[in-house]
Structure 1
């Protein structure tokens, strides 16, 4: 007897309420599952049927592989229809970036709870041989059913660990982008090294220090600046900042998390137990234990002791590129707008390094219900 995968149909929320987010290659909508009436988010990306290893198909497989941990959102289905592909997922609450007020810090007890949960999530991810590669506040969302819990999203560039020596390229000389997001990426990413668990840990350290401080010494780059110029300026500034510099005025364990991540070898797994115990010790010392309620987002205004950096000089380069998107305000109005067509041009075959073994792909795809219809797109 041949078993068939379940078929899912969705209807997008009414115009004006449907779009809830945007990724590098996707738009995220609120939608309703026909039959059950369940509200979900539907992540949509333009892709040709000729493309091998499309973005959301890879993310769907990663979510199925990681399923079973409290910090991993539920994925309900995947489908490729005409010129688009879709993942339906659990509806989540605001991200850490949305919860934090502009320019203010977050209470130490809240940051400790976040770090502890993300360390547990990273241990689950890394134990399965996967590196996330884009840890940042925008990819950490609160659970609407339990606002004390954090979930990790966006596994579109996650990959299995590489073995042996890491690959390396020169982003500046070769005029290539780095893996991840410039503001949160590890120094290894800026230097063109293949990423490993140590790099997820370094990005988590940046997130924790940012939440405490309300800012980091390197500023978000101007949108019209070339990607290569932005990468190099931020790389030089990150190289000038040690963990002890960035954690001055806060518990030293936050700076030690950054220092530890930078000291690790490529093939080394973090000592998650020791790291979590260190942050639990801070909580016990400050009598933060026993607080299992919603995370406290009361703004803090810390007195930052350092470091203060001057932006390094960087020569102008010819043929500067830009990621500026003139059609950003048109998201959701027309699925064939200029932004969509730009995605069509850029979303080619995925990096072969993101390919899972054939047998594993077949198993993961078999587990995933198929999205067969989306109304209102």
Structure 2
């Protein structure tokens, strides 16, 4: 995951130390690279805890967003489902923010699923959590303006059932210092991610809370069905066609759009479309529709998420690219798992050899044999053992 920032020697490098007046962080690896910033896994030199560190160049950055990201996160960090901000500082060459480390984002997890979509049980529970995050953000006076699956991620360890909201580089206040709603501007740029953008944004209108929820609805359909109808269209070349699609689904294409989704999402779109610019969204009514779908489908709210049932989903999600290069990811993950399996069998073989030596010195232990496969050495599986990933007979 390289970027121009990572290749710049003035920016953090793996193994280097990034200093803060109260902390020292060692860079472990580059986690993600974007057009505006890079994200690293870092370790607190003193405490040993691992965190995420987002960096941004001091100069030459086309669109600085880290300061805004930090400001919003500092107000949100104490609310459930938002990463805790640990530290923020600047050096002569870059700004950085250190925050709670989270797991794979929802887009990577979805693409890591066998059918490229979540079960309805998991999708609906994600929708409930992400709706709550958006409501929290709005109640603090902020719009996100970039709601999409990659901007939500799951927690680590025991918190892997919690969905966290990330990335507030496009956030905007919609109230003034006295709490009054800011009036809409005559025209506004098309911001965010075009595949998820609202109709108003396509038409260069000022965004409001309704628009965040419209983007959320597109994300919800994607989580349930696996793909939006316009997913394969180039957003830069075909943004007008994508806009046409979003108008079409409100008239003749509605049934096609919600074909693989709970029928309640159709009702939710109607609720969202009924909102005026100044209206506070009916979050409770939308959540009621989600809960209605959960009950109608007989979903257990306490059931594990898809990635909790199959741990391989999280492993594969770590290899899936931003654009979803799932075939390459499958190969990479297979190599990763084969390497882990090989190492595990080597350890077992060595332990067995040691035990055999203890039992009898007259029968020398047989060393495992190796075959060369590409650039890796793997253990040749003895006939008496099952080959990796071969299912046992029932």
Q: TM-score, normalised by structure 2?
A: 0.66
Structure 2 CA distance for partners of 1:8 and 1:292, relative to 1, 3 Å: farther
Larger proportion of helix: 2
1:97, 1:122 → 2: CA distance? 18
Structure 2 CA distance for partners of 1:37 and 1:100, relative to 1, 3 Å: same
- Structure 1 residue 88 displacement after superposition: 0.7
Aligned to 1:124: 136
Q: Match for 2:231 among 210, 219, 226?
A: 219
For residue 194 of structure 2, give the secondary structure of its aligned residue in structure 1: coil
For residue 10 of structure 1, give the secondary structure of its aligned residue in structure 2: strand
Structure 2 CA distance for partners of 1:45 and 1:221, relative to 1, 3 Å: farther
Q: Match for 1:41 among 42, 52, 55?
A: 52
Give CA deviations for 1:272-307 in whole Å, capped at 9, x if unaligned. 1121122112212222134243345889xxxxxxxx
Bigger radius of gyration among the two: 2
Aligned to 1:92: 102
Gaps of 5+ in 1: 171-176, 300-377
Matched, 1:232 2:243: no
Q: Match for 2:295 among 267, 284, 289?
A: 284
Within a 5 Å distance, the mapping from 1:177-256 to structure 2 comes to: 178-222=190-234, 227=236, 229-242=237-250, 244-256=255-267
Q: Match for 2:276 among 247, 252, 265?
A: 265
1:183, 1:297 → 2: CA distance? 29
Aligned to 2:22: 7
2:96, 2:141 → 1: CA distance? 25
Give CA deviations for 1:305-340 in whole Å, capped at 9, x if unaligned. xxxxxxxxxxxxxxxxxxxxxxxxxxxxxxxxxxxx
- Structure 1 residue 255 displacement after superposition: 2.1
- Structure 1 residue 204 displacement after superposition: 0.9
- Structure 1 residue 87 displacement after superposition: 0.9
Q: Match for 2:161 among 124, 148, 168?
A: 148
Give CA deviations for 1:231-277 in whole Å, capped at 9, x if unaligned. 22221222211255411343221122223222211111111112112
Aligned to 1:30: 41
Give CA deviations for 1:89-122 in whole Å, capped at 9, x if unaligned. 1111111111113763321111110111111111
Matched, 1:73 2:83: yes
Aligned to 2:358: none
Does 1 or 2 have the higher relative contact order (CA < 8 Å, sep 6+)? 1
Q: Match for 1:167 among 185, 192, 203?
A: 185
- Structure 1 residue 197 displacement after superposition: 1.1
Aligned to 2:171: 158
- 8 Å CA contact 1:47, 1:83 repeated in 2: yes
Structure 2 CA distance for partners of 1:290 and 1:207, relative to 1, 3 Å: closer
Gaps of 5+ in 2: 1-19, 176-180, 311-394
Aligned to 1:350: none
Within a 5 Å distance, the mapping from 1:355-366 to structure 2 comes to: none
Aligned to 2:305: 294
Structure 2 CA distance for partners of 1:288 and 1:76, relative to 1, 3 Å: same
RMSD after superposition: 2.5
Q: Match for 2:147 among 126, 131, 135?
A: 135
2:306, 2:96 → 1: CA distance? 32
